[in-house]
Amino acid sequence: MALISGCISEEQANKNYSGNGVSFNYSESWAETNAQFSNDLKTKSKILVDLADPSDPETGFCIEKHPLMAGKELETNLETVMKSYESSGYHILSKNKSSISGEKAYEILFTVDKGSTHIKQKELWCKHNGSLYTIAFFSTPENYNKSQEAFNIVLKSFKFN
């Protein structure tokens, strides 16, 4: 007679990303992409990392680094971003104070149409070492809630290096 004992965990296996001054864990099922801003935009902003859920091409995560736009304060820069979003047709659902990796942050939740696809997106904006960072999670509204577990893996482990 054999006795087997143990526990079953529903935790996902994770990969680790470390580069471009940031590190975090992410869902093993997600994959890195080579997304960058179009050269036509003439921006000094840079996509540091972009991840996609291969089973759902409308679901993903990215981190962007931006130069300060309007003064040195996070709040002043965020006001500029919010005005730009609102004038571009973004529907702001909420804006809340938050933090990430020990930095003060603001979390913005909004919906927007990207081409023919309706997107729900959460962004955390923070200032670190004189630059703005956007940590963004996006999906279609119908898949947004089921993607939260994958998003939370990133948020719980995110660090500036």
Pairing type for strands 22-27 and 14-19 reads antiparallel
Q: How crowded is the C-beta side of 87, counted as CA atoms within 13 Å?
A: 6
Q: Answer whether residue 28 is part of any domain.
A: no
Q: Answer whether residue 17 is part of any domain.
A: no
What residues make up the domain containing 99?
43-160
Tell me, what's the pLDDT at 34? Answer: 82
Tell me, what's the pLDDT at 39? Answer: 60
Tell me, what's the pLDDT at 38? Answer: 60
Mean pLDDT of the chain: 88
C-alpha torsion 105→74→25→6, nearest 10 = -10
Tell me, what's the pLDDT at 116? Answer: 86
Q: Answer whether residue 68 is part of any domain.
A: yes
Mean pLDDT of 106-110: 96
- Which string of b and e fits 17-48 if b means at least 16 CB within 10 Å? beeeebebbbbeebeeeeeeeeeeeeeebebb
Strand order in the sheet with 103-114: 31-32, 46-53, 56-67, 131-139, 117-128, 103-114, 91-100
Confidence of residue 4 (pLDDT cuts 50, 70, 90): very low
pTM of the model: 0.85
pLDDT at 40 over 70: no
Tell me, what's the pLDDT at 11? Answer: 52
Q: What is the CATH number of the domain that holds 129?
A: 3.40.1000.10
Pick from 6-10, 14-18, 55-59, 92-96: least confident: 6-10
Confidence of residue 36 (pLDDT cuts 50, 70, 90): confident
pLDDT at 10 over 60: no
Q: Is the dihedral of CA 17, 40, 134, 103 positive or negative?
A: positive
Mean pLDDT of 117-129: 95
Structure confidence by residue, pLDDT tens digits, 125-134: 999 999 999 9
DSSP-derived letter for residue 12 is P
For residue 54, the one-letter residue type is P
Q: Answer whether residue 126 is part of any domain.
A: yes
Mean pLDDT of 64-72: 88
Tell me, what's the pLDDT at 2? Answer: 41
Domain count, the chain: 1
